Amino acid sequence: MTGTLPDEIGNLNLEKLNVFGNHLTGTIPFKIFNVSTMKILCLGFNNFSGNLPSDMGFWLPNLEGLYLFINKLSGTIPSSISNASKLTIISMGTNSFTGSIPNTLGSLRLLQRLALHANSLAGESSTPELNIFSSLTNCRQLEVLTISLNPLNGILPMSVGNLSTRLQIFEALGYKIRGNIPSGIGNLSNLVILRLGNNHLTGPIPKSLKRLQNLVRLHLQNNALKGSIPGDLCQLGKLGDLNVSDNMLSGQIPTCLGELKSLRWLYLCSNRLSSKVPLNLWSLEDLLGLNLSSNFLTGELPLSVGNLKVITLIDLSRNQLSGTISNTIGGAQSLVSLSLSHNKMQGPIPRSLGNLISLQLLDLSGNNLSGEIPKSFEELRYLKYLNVSFNRLEGEIPIAGHIPNFTARLFMHNDALCGEL
């Protein structure tokens, strides 16, 4: 179906209208919002534009599900929507709604899902706190709350800790949420996903997060968080994805993180961490991605790096690591991206790197590596980027495989490399 939605459809006593993903354009006929029998209204994934009627909530007493996501709707979200008291799902993400989120949504006692992400919704100008969170504490059935990618520009209130204990997904990433992460957030005992990244949050990572025993994904990246990474996070036995990169965290990497067998992705990059890399991190055999770059980490790359059979990304660049690159690294057979650049590593480049058949990016630049570039690199059939500049390498640059496709600057500032590029 393409075209527009006819006005006449609003004359029918419908209980469900579903035109999901039909490339419909134009405005939504106002008559649709007067169908008192309507229970499910699904207009998502189209190209509808225009505003919603300010009184829409008064004429939809039986509405349970409102799906308007991925359109081009604009204007404010009508506060009258709270009069549709049977609503359990409101999905209005990825539109162009403006104004503030109506506090009246808090009167929807049956609300289970509220998705308002990717709009242009702002906080109330009269107060620095985001009062919508206080309002939503009345919604005791709430399970999903996503308000990411809105210029909320406000402070997370302490009342966040009073949201429904049924809440499983809480996403408020990017951008402009300020202040500390309230310690009361640890009360949300059923949280599975917590995403507060890409904001202006300050202060420490609350130790109360240890109470979120169902948490699988914790994203706090790109804020201004300070202090250490609390070892309390190691009590999250289901944690699979931890991202606290791009903050101002300092101190050591908690050794106990290496005991979290559930971890799949660990991103601690771009902080001020200054310890050695805990040896037991290399025993996390199900780890898929490890990024510890841009810190002040010391120590050596251990022999056990080869135990990471399924890992796809290792980035230890821009630290102070020393020692040699062990030949055992060839055991990490699933590696797609490996960066050890800008460290103090020395010795030869191991030939076993040529056995990493899935490797697409390899950056060893800015070290003290010596010897030749292994001829085994010619076998890296998927290699898209190779940088060995600023080392002490010598000998002939391999001439087969993808290596001739790379520019000379990726080989510059070595002792005695030769060959045509």
Which CATH number is associated with domain 277-421? Answer: 3.80.10.10
Residue 420 has what pLDDT?
67
In the block, tokens 């490890």 appear at 290
Residue 125: the pLDDT is 72
pLDDT, one tens digit per residue, over 240-299 is 999 999 999 999 999 999 999 999 999 999 999 998 999 999 999 999 999 999 999 999
Is the pLDDT at 172 greater than 80, yes or no? yes
In the chain, the N- to C-terminal Cα span, in Å, equals 54
E strands within 29-185? 40-42, 47-50, 65-67, 72-76, 89-91, 96-98, 113-115, 144-146, 169-171, 178-180
Residue 293's Cβ-count burial label (10 Å; 0-12, 13-18, 19+) is buried
The band of 1, judged by pLDDT with boundaries at 50, 70 and 90, is low
For residues 132-143, average pLDDT: 96
> Which of 111-115, 163-167, 174-178, 237-241 is predicted least confidently?
174-178
What is the length of the chain?
A: 421
pLDDT at 235 over 80: yes
Domain spanning 99-275: CATH 3.40.640.10: no
- Distance from C-alpha of 154 to C-alpha of 55, rounded to nearest angstrom: 28
Give the pLDDT confidence score for residue 126 in this predicted structure.
Answer: 74
| 3/72: higher pLDDT | 72
Between strands 200-203 and 193-195, the pairing is unpaired
Confidence of residue 402 (pLDDT cuts 50, 70, 90): confident
Give pLDDT, residue 86. Answer: 98
Fold of 1-90: 3.80.10
Q: What percent of the chain has pLDDT over 90?
A: 90
* Residue for token pair 């951008």: 175
- Is the alpha carbon torsion for 25, 31, 37, 39 positive or negative? positive
126 Cβ contact list (under 8 Å, min separation 6): none
User: Is a pLDDT exceeding 80 seen at residue 419?
Assistant: no
**pLDDT bracket for residue 128 (50, 70, 90):** confident
Residue labelled with tokens 């349970």 = 64
Strand bridging mode 361-363 / 337-339: parallel
Instruction: Output the pLDDT for position 421.
Output: 57
Q: Are 361 and 338 in contact (CB under 8 A)?
A: yes
| Model confidence band, residue 175 (pLDDT cutoffs 50, 70, 90) | confident
Task: Compute the distance between CA of residue 118 and CA of residue 120 in angstroms, rounded to an integer.
Answer: 7
Question: Cβ(70)–Cβ(94) under 8 Å?
Answer: yes
Region of residue 203 (phi > 0: left; psi between -120 and 50: alpha; otherwise: beta): left
Q: Return the pLDDT at 56.
A: 94
Residues in CB range of 53: below 8 A, 6 or more apart: 30, 33, 78
What confidence score (pLDDT) does residue 55 get?
Answer: 94
> How does the average pLDDT of the chain come out, rounded?
95
Q: With bands split at pLDDT 50, 70 and 90, how would you rate the model's confidence at 19?
A: very high
- Asked if 19 and 5 count as a contact pair (C-beta separation under 8 A), the reply is yes
pLDDT surpassing 90 at residue 400: no
Mean pLDDT value across residues 59-63 = 96
Q: What is the mean pLDDT of residues 335-350?
A: 98
Start-end of CATH 3.80.10.10 domains in the chain: 1-90, 99-275, 277-421
Region 361-381: mean pLDDT is 96
